[in-house]
Amino acid sequence: MNPKTLVILGTGGTIAGQAAQASDNIGYTAAQLGIDQLLACMPTLAGAGPFITEQVAQIDSKDMDFAVWARLAARVNHFLASPDVQGIVITHGTDTLEETAYFLQAVCQPLKPVVLTCAMRPATALAPDGPQNLLDAARVARHAGVQGVVAVCAGTVHSALDVQKTHTYKLDAFSSGDAGPIGYVEEGQLRQLRNWPQPHESRLGLGAQQRVNLPAAAADWPRVEIVMSYAGASGAVVEALLAQGVQGLVVAGTGNGTLHHALLGALLKAQAAGVKVVRATRCANGRVLATPTDLIADSQGLSPVKARVALLLACLDAAHQQQDDQDDNNQPDAPAGAVTPAPAVAPGGQGADQHQNQNDQQNERDGHRNNSLL
């Protein structure tokens, strides 16, 4: 049986960066080489089976924006829909990789592997780490049974839910915190330690979502910001954001999500005004443990940046739900005996079985909507 196709999507990042000198690992310019140029020096990749490439974006990931996210999600869903595609590899910068990984898991909920990889050194370095990371990512994407969005860096496989960049310079710059990695790639072989991300996993009441029609324009996305609690904190930033019409706030609290009293007061005022507020921790490890007296919902283990992504999607979902309700109210009654046709292609294009599964999950989510952040 012929092997299926691997799709490799380029978005730029350090892995595609260039410096004036091979000894310079930090004074480089990111996103200079196209995905085909990166792969030209990796003939071993072609030996594993057919692959196709596409340059979705060419940016330094510190500049990641909603337009690229929407375009990337659309291309991921497009390729996931093809029965000839085994999996997807995405080259990405390290700075916002964890946010993009979580976003794609929450939006696409893939039953196939979507593997993000990166580099801490530019392509022009004396010993670049990008080629090995890319080769490891391709091997994970071709491994039987892999599903969901993961990140592969320095031989370690991380879940999109848990991966965090934890070091500014080391090649092994990512961690999965308390959860630990999913596995390791050792001399081309995958050693799996725990389960792959499941389609329903995203937390914050987003379990059954598959957002296909994301806004293309940044102005059409909800305004969701992150604030932090610290010694001497005040509510000034929250009050300014409230005046600007912010729709969601994630607060990175100290310790177990504790908040300075002045900041807490401003956040409660914003919450009372209709702003969605979520409480995370600024600690690198651990999660906020909820108590019955909490006045602000916790992030259910998500870091502040991932909680922001989840809140963005939750606000979009709420807006779409409101629009759907208005459309339903404006629709004339259907004629007696009329049948609503089922969609020909499941959202995300991953087949009828996944569509039925997502319908079941949607029913479950609707039954628990009152328990979500919204």
Give which of 198, 208, 197 is closest to 317, Cα–Cα. Answer: 208
How far apart (Å, rounded) are the C-alpha atoms in residues 268 and 246? 14
On the 0-12 / 13-18 / 19+ scale of CB atoms within 10 A, 231 is exposed
How far apart (Å, rounded) are the C-alpha atoms in residues 42 and 40? 6
14 tagged catalytic: yes
**Active-site residue (options: 14, 94, 124, 156):** 14
Strands of 217-284, DSSP E: 224-228, 248-253, 276-281
Sign of CA dihedral 221, 320, 80, 181: positive
On the 0-12 / 13-18 / 19+ scale of CB atoms within 10 A, 35 is buried
- Residues 301/193, Cβ–Cβ less than 8 Å: no
How far apart (Å, rounded) are the C-alpha atoms in residues 229 and 253? 5
How far apart (Å, rounded) are the C-alpha atoms in residues 253 and 216? 32
Residue carrying structure tokens 């940046």:
305
- Residues 202/104, Cβ–Cβ less than 8 Å: no
Residues assigned a catalytic role? 14
